[in-house]
Amino acid sequence: MSHGSIFEEVSGALDIWSLGCIEVQMITGRLPWDTRDRDELRDKLLRGESPNILKDMSKLGKSFLKECFAIDPNKR
């Protein structure tokens, strides 16, 4: 679930958000946000909480994921 999908905004930026989710799960083996249900995930997204990104990831990797998860879809 992306920040934009909460408000039913569908665009190419949503695909970039999804790519970031896939990358985090491939690298960590876990979902990007540690939540119990969709409501908790929605609340974290609305508060602008960042996903779980490894601290020892390269600067380039972190930068890529930060751009994937930009709240403003025009910055993805």
Q: SS in 3 state form for the chain?
A: CCHHHHCCCCCHHHHHHHHHHHHHHHHHCCCCCCCCCHHHHHHHHHCCCCCCCCCCCCHHHHHHHHHHCCCCHHHC
The C-alpha torsion from 10 through 11 and 17 to 19, rounded to 10°, is 110
Give the other-Cβ count within 10 Å of 67's Cβ. Answer: 12
CATH of 3-75, one of 1.10.287.1080, 1.10.3210.10, 1.10.10.60, 1.10.510.10: 1.10.510.10
Q: What's the average model confidence in pLDDT over 42-58?
A: 86
Whether the predicted pLDDT of 23 surpasses 90: yes
Domain borders along the chain are 3-75
Q: How confident is the model at residue 9 (pLDDT cuts 50, 70, 90)?
A: low
